Amino acid sequence: MCLVPGLSVAFAATALAAQTTRYLALVDGGKQAGQQVVTRADDGTTTVEFVFKDNGRGPELKETYTLADDGTYRTYAVQGTSTFGAKVDESFQRNGEQVSWKSKSDAGQATVPGVGLYAPLGGTPAGISVALGALAKHNGKLPLLPNGTLSSSKLGEAQVTRDGKTQTVQLLALTGQGFTPNFVWATSDAQPRLFAFIFPGYLQLIEEGWQANAAALETQQKAAEGKLLVDLRKKLGHRFAGTTVLRDVRVFDSEHATLGAATDVVIADGKIVSVGKADPKLKADRVVDGGGKVLMPGLFDMHGHVSRWDGGLNIAAGVTTVRDMGNDNATLQQMIGEIEAGTLMSPGVVPAGFIEGESQFSARNGFVIKNLDEAKKAVDWYSEHGYPQIKIYNSFPKAVLRDTVAYAHSKGMRVSGHVPAFLRAQDVVDQGFDEIQHINQLMLNFFVDDKTDTRTLQRFYLVADKTADLDFDSKPVQDFIATLAKKQIAIDPTLATFEFLHQRDGELSPIVAGIEDHLPPDVQRGRRSAEMNIPDDATAARYTKSYDKLVEFVGRAYKAGVPLLAGTDEIPGFTLQHELALYVRAGLTPAQALQVATWNAAKVARVLDNRGSVTVGKRSDLILIDGDPTKDIGDIRKVSLVLRGDTAYYPSEVHEALGVKPFAAAAKVTAAK
């Protein structure tokens, strides 16, 4: 993950006490997963060394820079590797009004007569300090290079202590990059610098020696963010109390994947009360002019890792339910409570309980266990908190897998996950898995043995390299697909996410290709960076061939009767639509792809009794499409109205609030006179 989305600039040590400042990267309540060391030389040159490793991957970067008198970069350079191993090599320099930059994915030059802060693509979170120092010199607002404007606002203060020493730090919201604010803790000096960056529920990057204050800072930050989120929901959510008639809509029958003739749908207080021509004399509180548009159930994203700021992007895309596939348990429980209380703009959440095994490669979500007793306690906790399934992860101890699966089943829970290291997909199917996450976990079935450690980047590079030559008509592949179909093992392939396997530097991510003009410029730029190390054209061609075959495999599995689930595990609000387009490319009809993301998803998520179809008695989680996605799957982006229970959202309003150019005009709604 990107530690500070879009804000990748380098650290500036002020002329205070130490020449070297160290930061610790903490996960899972205080376990160190990396560090950052910032050193300022006597000649004014600053170097930053940053390493972060979680879940068997992470960046290793070294930055060097000098500053101009206005606090912005005079020179900047960063080298190293990205999260998935791609090479990072980026530089910037300024000579008077002339600036130039070059990265692995872009290059440019410009004449800049005034101030301008370069925003690197591949930098470290240490760069927040440069931004803070430059902002302090320019009244909290300054232009960014190559584009954009960065602003800061103060949300609060906190007292932190260490060895009897006390200092005041301030919580700032930085806006102007990405879709949502970035929150940072800064010192309170005239020239502030980074004190801590906290991603609630996941990461605490804090100055060494002060880490005992991290939990309190996180609590205060979550409260401050919560106030902003409540205000955002009040601004963008519209209460549809009483009775609403949606007139002249074509209803998508998600059970049968068919589109009906124009009709009316009546909802009252968040429930569907009739589907069919409504009495013209019906006294409704409001009428939605459907104009022949397609009305369908809200979409399901069956592979998310939700955060509080994801809600707007998901809602604007018509996603009204997300299955969370791994999170910090306390953070997720708080979110679910806020959603149920109506204070957070978000889809509904169906949680899957994350269980990982202890190792140097562990992903620090949910519960990290060492033995069967701890695994059972984790299952018990999830069962008691209403989780319908568990998700097992890479380092889970294979010796206790079968018993854990059986125990979860005894509690009435489904079991899914990655394939634990040193096992194959066939092994977890034999031991009772109901579902497997990710297309690479399926393909590794044919490439690994009991000595292959798939907790490393091998789980990506093996698939990228070897799938190209895999014969799908061979007996091992045919037998595996037949087993999945016979046992009705669901697959959650997240094909869109794995587009990164073949994307090269400078190429636009296929996830946003064709819609890039709708996105903020810095997001567009960031989406041209590669994740994988692809050294030459031959490797690129091979990886692309492998990816094409991953898509083909999903089509073959679906045709054979394997249950298919549409999930993302990527940028919310924009990935699910591409996932569905990939299913169409794999051979599904657009209507079948929509069925996968509605009826099928609701069935597997065990919520079909109250959502997933436009049916009397169900919750009014509905979306109105300005187009016909049963003919052109691309029309699924043209959402003009989202209903989630008794609250309506206009995606055009939500997108504009998040810096996104809308895909469709707001539906016409007339209130009763």
Q: Any idea where the domains of the chain sit in the sequence?
A: 20-235, 295-657
Q: At what angle do helices 329-341 and 214-236 cross, to 10 degrees?
A: 30
Give the DSSP letter of residue 504: P
CA gap 666, 673 in Å, rounded: 21
Q: Would you give the distance in Å from CA 339 to the centre of its chain?
A: 18
User: pTM to 2 decimals?
Assistant: 0.94
Q: Report DSSP state, residue 210.
A: -
Distance, CA of 149 to CA of 83 (rounded, Å): 27
Rounded Cα distance, 61 and 20, in Å: 17
State the pairing for strand pair 621-625/238-239. unpaired
Give the per-residue SS3 of 55-95: CCECCEEEEEEEECCCCCEEEEEEEEECCCCCEEEEEEEEE
- The two tokens of residue 440 are 């690479």
**Beta-carbon count within 10 A of 319 CB:** 31
pLDDT, position 19: 85
Q: Please, what is the Cα angle at 35 between 571 and 25, to 5 degrees?
A: 55
Q: Is the dihedral of CA 257, 258, 259, 265 positive or negative?
A: negative
Helix (H, G, I), strand (E, B) or coil at 248: strand
For residue range 430-479, what is the model confidence (pLDDT) as tens digits?
Answer: 999 999 999 999 999 999 999 999 999 999 999 999 999 999 999 999 99
Question: Measuring CA to CA, which residue among 16, 121, 142, 101 is closest to residue 61?
Answer: 121
Angle between helices 458-466 and 537-559 (to 10 degrees): 90
pLDDT of residue 9: 32
Residues 265-303: tens digit of each pLDDT:
999 999 999 999 999 889 999 999 999 999 999 999 999
Q: Which residue has the tokens 């994801």?
A: 310
Q: Among 300-304, 352-356, 390-394, 669-673, where is mean pLDDT lowest?
A: 669-673
Nearest C-alpha neighbor of 441 from the set 480, 485, 491? 491
Q: Are residues 192 and 170 in contact, defined by beta-carbon separation less than 8 angstroms? A: yes
Cα(571)–Cα(5) distance, integer angstroms: 11
Is pLDDT above 80 for 16? no
The CA distances from residue 399 to 76, 393, 410, 480, in Å, are 50, 14, 19, 23
How many Cα atoms sit within 13 Å of 643 on the Cβ side? 32
Determine what percent of the chain is predicted with pLDDT higher than 70.
97
Phi, psi angle pair for 311, to nearest 5°: -55, -45
Alpha carbon separation from 574 to 171, 305, 445, 571 (Å, rounded)? 30, 15, 30, 6
pLDDT at res. 445 = 98
Read off the pLDDT of residues 465-520 as tens digits, 9 standing for 90 and up. 999 999 999 999 999 999 999 999 999 999 999 999 999 999 999 999 999 999 99
pLDDT at 10 over 70: no
Integer Cα distance of 29 and 26 in angstroms: 7
* pLDDT exceeds 90 at position 1: no
- Domain 295-657 carries which CATH code? 3.20.20.140
Q: Which helix (H) or strand (E) holds 218?
A: helix 214-236
pLDDT at 280: 86
> Using CA atoms, how far apart are residues 643 and 270, in angstroms rounded to an integer?
8
Instruction: For residues 378 and 367, give the distance between their C-alpha atoms in angstroms, rounded to a whole number.
Output: 6
What is the dihedral sign for C-alpha 221, 222, 224, 225?
Answer: positive
Sorting pLDDT into bands at 50, 70 and 90, what band is 599? very high
Q: What are 118-172's pLDDT values in tens digits?
A: 999 989 888 899 999 999 999 999 999 999 999 999 999 999 999 999 999 999 9
Q: What is the DSSP letter of 564?
A: B
Query: Among residues 357, 316, 290, 397, which one has the least CA distance to residue 628?
Result: 290
pLDDT (0 to 100) of residue 514: 96
Cα–Cα distance measured from residue 348 to residue 327, given in angstroms and rounded to the nearest whole number: 15
Residue 358, SS3? coil
Q: Rounded CA gap, 497 and 336, in Å?
A: 25
User: Which pLDDT does position 18 carry in this prediction?
Assistant: 45
Instruction: Tell me the Ramachandran region of residue 536: left when phi exceeds 0, alpha when psi lies from -120 to 50, beta otherwise.
Output: beta
Question: Which of 441, 439, 436 has its CA nearest to residue 421?
Answer: 441
Please report, for residues 45, 284, 608, the alpha-carbon distance to residue 570 in angstroms, rounded to integers and kept in the order given.
Answer: 37, 40, 25
Nearest-angstrom CA–CA distance, 57 and 203:
15
Lookup result for tokens 């109105």: 624
CB 301 within 8 A of CB 572: yes
Which residues, in sequence order, are bridge partners of residue 239? 647
User: DSSP class of residue 598?
Assistant: I
Tokens of 36: 């950052």
Closest CA to 543 of 514, 570, 510: 510
Which pLDDT belongs to residue 126? Answer: 82
The Cβ of residue 608 has, within 10 Å, a number of other Cβ atoms equal to: 19
Average pLDDT of the segment spanning 101-107: 96
pLDDT for the residue 616? 98
R_g of the chain computed on alpha carbons: 25
Residue 26 to residue 296: CA distance in whole angstroms? 43
Residues contacting residue 487 through CB under 8 Å, at least 6 positions apart: 429
Instruction: Tell me the one-letter amino acid at 350.
Output: V
Q: How far apart are CA 570 and CA 509, in angstroms?
A: 12
